[in-house]
Structure 1
Amino acid sequence: MTGFNLLTEDWIPVQKQGQFETISLKSLLCNDEDWQICLSRDDMEMAALQLIVCIVQVIFMPDDKYDLLDAYEKTMSEADYEKGIVSFMEWFDLLHPKYPFMQCADVKAKDANSKGQTPKNWTSFQKLFIGLPEISSSSPSSKAFFNTAYEINNAFYGEIAIAIFQQATNGFSLGGAQFAVGLKGSMPSTTLIQATNLRKTIWANVINKDYFHQNTSLLDGNKNNNPSWVVLPSFDKSSPENAQSIGLLRGLFWQPAKIKLFVDDDHILSGFLTEPGMSYFEGFWKHPHTPIDEIAFKENKSSKKPFLSLRRDYPVWTEMLSYFYTKSPGQEGASRAVVVSHYEQTIGRGKSINLVVGGYVKGGSQESIAARKHELYGISSGWENQIAEINLLISYGLDAQKALDYAIYSFGKELNEIRTIRNKEQESNLIKKLKEQTKKNYFAGSEPVFHSIMRRLDVSEISKYKNYFVQLAMGTFDTTFLPYEHDPKLLKAVVAGRRTLTRNLAKIGDNN
């Protein structure tokens, strides 16, 4: 195959009423079918959605909200599509000889002198699929959760394009300290709107030019808007690229690493080639799809990344305010992404919202993940004015978890598992482990509880939902301490803990 262009090929995996097919971007935008993206993993589905949104954003950006609403309601004509892609054709070809999409054409195979020999700088493309084992890795942990390192031995070109984009935009380093991460740092969260079908979903996430000009500097005329595979990022530490000079197209498709897909002598795509080297930039680039801490963004300190990431120890719903709402000036914490603010003022004005939140949770090292998370939250019309109610709902859930901590403290106090040393209380290993376990179990159970609440949310009676979290906390305590109740020596401590739990759960919401 001499080329694979994302603007002309069938590469978007979709399903409609249980029927699976692969369609082109042209078919998607020029037809109003009930298509939905369909891949084997939710993170790859979100990556595919974000990739399509970014392509449409830079090629077919509406001038104003009226053009946007028109594009949302009506399908594009094939003539307009063909006209729009003309000047972008070279930049979105995965196998282009000079400008391969999100790759570096200058990367060469090293020490592969004989036919069939694997180059030394070859890596299995499986490494692009975040969370899968890396065939070329010698680390046992890279294969720990798989029967074999060869879980995937081939992939469609469209999936490879999605994986390259995801790795560069929302993933982590391709090889430790010698490779850079993307403009948002390692493993940032992403938020996107979901509409009734895929075509409308795309337009719900496309931001019009007027809004960009009024609320950001991303379209200012002095920006470098060449893709990073046409004009490479700076790989010279002494002359980093300034993030404020990066234009919209360059930033949305930023590739921090030098990589190139490798097609072997049998014309089979078997992996990709890498060239070590850190790309350097200074400052922060305001990505429109990720919640951001505006204070940290303006302070511009490299030690404090402003982009919101998912937390290992807390579920997604605990950060809901950062996904849906914007902090007041001077308030600490992340505010919603530009795409959500734009939706509220254009297509979503007076309507309900369905927000997809996704991302990876960091593991113990730079290149490991502890989990991937992908959630859909829906709020009915009027959501933009419900910040106080949502905040109260979140506080119910978090306060119930804190009540569990107090209960375990009482349990430990009764057993003398909490001692005072030098006027400071110290918990035994047993109490620490019990707290960790109950917190983990409570938060695991809280996800379906929170989604259940959101499906029937009545903000006028928000307090009634407190009992959902109270029951979850009581059930979590009983499950954890059931084995201890059979020991007469421990039963008294369990009773003390349950009494403390009941007392603190009854207080939830008293100060609101």
Structure 2
Amino acid sequence: MTGFNLLTEEWIPVQKQGHFETISLKRLLCNDEEWQLCLSRDDMEMAALQLIVCIVQVVFMPDDEDDLFASYSKPMKEADYEKGILPFMEWFDLLHPEYPFMQCADVKAKDENSKGNTPKNWTSFQKLFVGLPEITSDSPSSKAFFNTVDEINNTWYGEVAIAIFQQATNGFSLGGSKFAVGLKGSMPSTTLIQDSNLRKSIWANVLNKEFLQQNTSLFDGNKNNNPTWVVLPSFDKNKPESAQSIGLLRGLFWQPAKIKLFVDEKQQLSGFLTNPGMSYFEGFWKHPHTPIDEIAFKENKSSKKPFLSLRRDYPVWTEMLSYFYTKNAGQEGASRALVVSHYEQVIGRGKTINLVVGGYVKGGSQESLAARKHELYGISSGWEAQIAEMNMLISYGLDAQKALDYAVYSFGKELNEIRTVRNREQDSNLMKKLKEQTKKHYFAGSESVFHSIMRKLDVNEVSNYKNHFTQLAMVTYDTIFLPYEHDPKLLKAVVAGRRTLTRNLMKIGENN
């Protein structure tokens, strides 16, 4: 194959009513069909959505609200599509000889290694799929979700394009300290709007030029808007690229690493080639798809990243305020992404919002992966003014978990498992284990509880929903401590903990 252009080829995997097909971007935008994305993993589906959104954002950017509404409401004319893609044809071809999409044409195959006939700088393309086992690595973290290293042995160009984009935009580095991460740092969260079908979902996430001019500096001055596979990032530590000089296209498709797909003698894609080397930039680039801490962004300190990431010890719903709402000036914490603000003001004005939230959770080291999370939250019309109610709902869920902590503490006190050493209380190993178990069990169950509340949420009756969390807390306590009730020596401690739990659960919401 001599070329694979994302603007012309059929690469988007979709389904409708059980019918599966791979379609082109032209067919998607120029027809009003009820397609939905369909890949084997939810994170890859979200990556595909984000990739398509980014392509449409730069190739067919609407001038203003009216232009956006027109694109959202009716399919594009094929003649307009063909005219729109002409200036970008060379930049979205995976196999272009000079400008391969999100790759570096200068990366060459090095001498064959001692283990076979692959180049020394060859890497299995599984490394591009975050969380898949990496054939060329012995690290346990490279096999985060699989038991063997041969789960996949071939793929198609469309999926590889999605994986390259996802790895560079939302993943971690390709090889530790020898490789840089993307503009948002390692494993940032992403928020995107989901509409009734894929075509409308795309336009619901595309920002019009007038909005971008009013809310960003992306069109100020002389921005570098060449993609990184046309003009490479700086790989000189002493001459970092300024984030303030990065244009919209360059930023949305930022590739921090030197990689190139490797096509073998049989013309089959078998992996990719890499050249080690850190790319450098200074400052922060305001990505439109990720919640951001405005205070940290303005302070511009490299030690304090402003982009929101998902947490290992807390479920996604605990950060909902950062996904849906904007903090007041001077308030700490992350505010919603630009794409959500744009939706509220334009396409979503007075409408229900369905927000997809996704991302990866860091493990103990720079390259380790603890989990991947992907959730869809829907709120009915009027959600824009419901920040107080949503805050109350979240506080119910968190306060119930805190009540469990107090209950475990009471259990430990009764057993003398919590001792005072040098005026400081110290947990025994048993207590540390019980605290971890109850917290993990409660938060695991809280996801389904929160979603069930959101499906029938009545903001005028928010206080009634605290019972969902108190019941979950009681069930969690009984599940963890039931085995201890059979021991007469422990039964008194179990009862003391349950009494403390009940007392604190009753207090939830008293100050609201």
Name the CA distance, whole Å, in 2 between partners of 1:221 and 1:330: 28
Name the CA distance, whole Å, in 2 between partners of 1:42 and 1:80: 32
Name the CA distance, whole Å, in 2 between partners of 1:126 and 1:52: 22
Name the CA distance, whole Å, in 1 between partners of 2:501 and 2:450: 21
- List alignment gaps of at least 5 residues for structure 2: none
Q: Counterpart of 2:361?
A: 361
Name the CA distance, whole Å, in 2 between partners of 1:189 and 1:199: 23
Q: Counterpart of 2:317?
A: 317
Q: Counterpart of 1:2?
A: 2
Per the normalisation by structure 1, the TM-score is: 0.99
Q: CA deviation at 1:478?
A: 0.3
Q: CA deviation at 1:310?
A: 0.1
Name the CA distance, whole Å, in 2 between partners of 1:423 and 1:31: 71
Q: CA deviation at 1:220?
A: 2.1
Deviation string 1:456-506 (CA, Å, 9 cap, x unpaired) is 000001100000000000000000000000000000000000000000000
Name the CA distance, whole Å, in 1 between partners of 2:144 and 2:340: 38
Per the normalisation by structure 2, the TM-score is: 0.99
Equivalent residue runs for 1:103-502 within 5 Å = 103-112=103-112, 117-143=117-143, 145-502=145-502
Deviation string 1:253-302 (CA, Å, 9 cap, x unpaired) is 00000000001111111000000000000000000000000000000000
Name the CA distance, whole Å, in 2 between partners of 1:422 and 1:81: 73
Name the CA distance, whole Å, in 2 between partners of 1:388 and 1:69: 31
SS at match of 1:256: coil
Equivalent residue runs for 1:43-58 within 5 Å = 43-58=43-58
Name the CA distance, whole Å, in 1 between partners of 2:113 and 2:129: 29
Name the CA distance, whole Å, in 1 between partners of 2:441 and 2:113: 55
The amino acid across from 2:168 in the alignment is A
Name the CA distance, whole Å, in 1 between partners of 2:38 and 2:172: 24
Deviation string 1:135-189 (CA, Å, 9 cap, x unpaired) is 1113344346534211111001000000000000000000000000000000000
Aligned length: 511
SS at match of 1:444: helix
SS at match of 1:160: helix
Contact between 2:39 and 2:45, CA under 8 Å: does it hold in 1? yes
Give the direction of change, closer, same or farther, for the CA distance of 1:469–1:432 in structure 2 (3 Å limit).
same
Q: Counterpart of 2:83?
A: 83
Q: CA deviation at 1:113?
A: 9.6
Name the CA distance, whole Å, in 2 between partners of 1:202 and 1:187: 23
Name the CA distance, whole Å, in 2 between partners of 1:474 and 1:113: 59
Name the CA distance, whole Å, in 2 between partners of 1:434 and 1:65: 54
Give the direction of change, closer, same or farther, for the CA distance of 1:69–1:452 in structure 2 (3 Å limit).
same
Q: Counterpart of 1:26?
A: 26
Give the direction of change, closer, same or farther, for the CA distance of 1:140–1:424 in structure 2 (3 Å limit).
closer
Contact between 2:181 and 2:256, CA under 8 Å: does it hold in 1? yes
SS at match of 1:272: strand
Name the CA distance, whole Å, in 1 between partners of 2:306 and 2:17: 41
The amino acid across from 2:131 in the alignment is G
Name the CA distance, whole Å, in 1 between partners of 2:431 and 2:149: 39
Contact between 2:5 and 2:89, CA under 8 Å: does it hold in 1? yes
Name the CA distance, whole Å, in 1 between partners of 2:407 and 2:295: 37
Name the CA distance, whole Å, in 2 between partners of 1:143 and 1:59: 37
Name the CA distance, whole Å, in 1 between partners of 2:160 and 2:137: 20
Q: CA deviation at 1:426?
A: 1.1
The amino acid across from 2:234 in the alignment is S
The amino acid across from 2:421 in the alignment is I
State the Cα RMSD in Å.
1.1
SS at match of 1:244: helix
Name the CA distance, whole Å, in 2 between partners of 1:138 and 1:334: 37
Name the CA distance, whole Å, in 2 between partners of 1:254 and 1:265: 30
Which runs of structure 1 show a deviation greater than 6 angstroms over 4 or more consecutive aligned residues? Answer: none
Deviation string 1:189-221 (CA, Å, 9 cap, x unpaired) is 000000000000000000000000001011224
Deviation string 1:228-266 (CA, Å, 9 cap, x unpaired) is 000000000000000000000000000000000001111
Name the CA distance, whole Å, in 2 between partners of 1:357 and 1:144: 21
